[in-house]
Amino acid sequence: MSADTPTIVIFAVLIALTLGITIWASRKTNDASSHYVAGGQIKGWQNGLAISGDFLSAATFLGYTGLIALVGFSGFYLMVGGAVALLFLLFLIAEPLRNLGRYTVGDALTSRFNTTAVRSVAAFTTIVISVPYLITQLVGAGAILELLLGANYVFSVIAIGILIAIYITVGGMMATTWIQLVKALLLLTAFFVLAFLVLVRFEFNPVAVFNETSARLGAEALTPPHGLMAGLGALSLGMALFFGVPGLPHVLIRFFTVRDAKAARSSAAYLVWTTVIAIVTIPIIGYGAALIVGRDPIANEGQGGNMAAPMLAGALGGTMLLAYVSAIAFATIIAIMAGLVIAASGGIAHDIYNNIIRKGKATEREQFRAGRITSILVCTLAILLSLGLRNVNIAILVAVPLVIAASANFPVILLTLYWKKFNTSGAVTGMLTGLVASVGLIMLGPTGMGANAPFPLTNPALVSVPLGFLGCYVGTLLNFSFSRQGQAPTGEISYDEIRVRINTGLHVPAEELPAGRTGRQA
């Protein structure tokens, strides 16, 4: 497909805008703290919009819209499951995690379980979640440029990977935050514009959209899936969304970018409100695409229906609106990728290099340099894998991140914050159990082995999440030793201190701790 002038201009303006943000952010990025968490200087409303830039991904804008257009209610059902997860994040995790962590999820966990075993496994799960997620985004971005600009796929993937590397190495988390913030505002604008133009066709009556859908596409377009396996499959995918979103490393580290717990709560509140806007508008857009564009034309552009929103934009607003919506889809992908690279590089440079290899003795300059170098390495790895996976079914890579986050990360994070008896053994066992169960069941299911798979569910969260919690419980009871010779039995911090920290952000003074344990400095 050859590119038209409006498309080229809009894409060029978007890239120029993001590079301008990066150059501005580079003035504020000069140490490890600014690279990983923007020095904790992000305000609550800014962080909330930036997190919504993470959550309202291409899967939300393109995937859910297309799913509603082609399948019907199931797409909305899944979207609501992800949105409810944000309430869980707001009330149970956002503020306590911010009070414990510094740069990474591993920091938050080792604030209670002070062992390299916990940090090592946390870093590994972060990488295993982030890299497949990053590859799928890069493949999608390359496909968009190939489709809309007529660019060669290989050139597109390499160019996008280099662009992301520039964002991270030059601007760090500050550039990532503002790119995500701007993208979120543009995306919300697209939601409003498309929903408004659809409602114009139906005299601004949302009920008329659903009535027309039922009349033309059948009542099943507005009802949940039927049948035991279909219901279990929907439930399992809903669990992956519900428990997976609060376990995604690139979402969680955003709460380390704000100054205090109040800002963390404010971030989550803004995130919830922006998500509500998406929930209200996406069904209108999805069903509008099915009615105005038609299911067959949408399906002809891809079985997943990912082009439903851009095709609707073209039908309602012509070339200019199509170019605008397509550019926003591209911006959505690169914003997500920037956050994923920060998370993955933090797991490698901060958790593994600084805290495990260098035993926390790397200088500030060394940590900063390691963060930049690993960001380039992660981008390079993603480029190479994306080029190799162009003609491969990447459904496995799509399934892996949320299921691992739900099965390996979420149980450990929740129990670290709220279970007094939880220990190092339980944390390590739980993460490993959730990781092995989620990846193993995906490979044994229809995604990995096709129709004759021994495990029937495409998404295994219904089984792997309970196994993750069970691993935490059994590991806690068995209480394996992960300590080194000469160390305390577990290297754990008193839960009394942890409880004060997660509720106040303050460290317990030495005289208030039991058994003479000394408090730690912030």
Mean pLDDT of 21-39: 89
Please list the alpha-helical segments (H only) found in 4-102: 5-26, 32-37, 44-55, 58, 65-70, 73-88, 94-100
Is the per-residue pLDDT at 510 higher than 60? no
**Is the distance from CB of 217 to CB of 366 less than 8 angstroms?**
no
What pLDDT sits at residue 522? 37
What pLDDT sits at residue 470? 96
Mean pLDDT of 98-114: 85
Cβ neighbourhood burial of 87 (10 Å; 0-12, 13-18, 19+): middle
What pLDDT sits at residue 490? 47
- From 501, 445, 54, select the one nearest 245 (Cα to Cα): 54
Amino acid at 172: G
Give the model's confidence band at 520: pLDDT under 50 very low, under 70 low, under 90 confident, else very high. Answer: very low
What pLDDT sits at residue 517? 39
**492 pairs with which residues across the strands?**
113
Give the model's confidence band at 397: pLDDT under 50 very low, under 70 low, under 90 confident, else very high. Answer: low
Is the per-residue pLDDT at 101 higher than 60? yes
Q: Residue 101 region, left (φ>0) first, then alpha (ψ -120 to 50), else beta?
A: beta
Q: State pLDDT tens for residues 438-477.
A: 999 988 988 778 778 898 888 899 999 999 999 999 999 9
Is the per-residue pLDDT at 123 higher than 90? yes
Q: Give the position of tokens 């890579």.
A: 397
- Whole-model pTM? 0.84
- From 89, 416, 402, select the one nearest 246 (Cα to Cα): 89
Mean pLDDT of 177-192: 88
What residue segments make up the domains of the chain, in order of their start? 5-398
Cβ neighbourhood burial of 6 (10 Å; 0-12, 13-18, 19+): middle
How much of the chain exceeds pLDDT 90, in percent? 26
Q: Tell me the average pLDDT of the chain.
A: 82
What pLDDT sits at residue 56? 74
Please list the alpha-helical segments (H only) found in 389-409: 395-404
**CA–CA gap between residue 15 and residue 164 (Å, rounded):** 11
What pLDDT sits at residue 228? 64
Contacts of 448 (CB under 8 A, 6+ apart): 396, 442
State residue 510 phi and psi, 5-degree precision.
Answer: -55, -40
**Is the distance from CB of 36 to CB of 255 less than 8 angstroms?**
no
Q: Which residue has the higher pLDDT, 474 or 60?
A: 474
For the stretch 271-282, what's the b/e string if a residue is b when 16 or more beta carbons lie within 10 angstroms of its beta carbon? bbebbebbeebb
Q: Which residue has the higher pLDDT, 340 or 483?
A: 340
**CA–CA gap between residue 13 and residue 11 (Å, rounded):** 5
Q: Which residue has the higher pLDDT, 206 or 151?
A: 206
Is the per-residue pLDDT at 382 higher than 80? yes
What pLDDT sits at residue 399? 66
**Is the distance from CB of 423 to CB of 490 less than 8 angstroms?**
yes
Mean pLDDT of 180-205: 90
Q: Tokens for 312?
A: 């609707």
Is the per-residue pLDDT at 511 higher than 60? no
What pLDDT sits at residue 234? 75
Q: Tokens for 45?
A: 């409303």
| 5-398 CATH fold | Sodium/glucose cotransporter (1.20.1730)
Is the per-residue pLDDT at 21 higher than 50? yes
Q: Tokens for 242?
A: 């519900």
What pLDDT sits at residue 485? 41
Mean pLDDT of 211-240: 78
Q: Give the position of tokens 């109040």.
A: 262
**CA–CA gap between residue 121 and residue 126 (Å, rounded):** 9
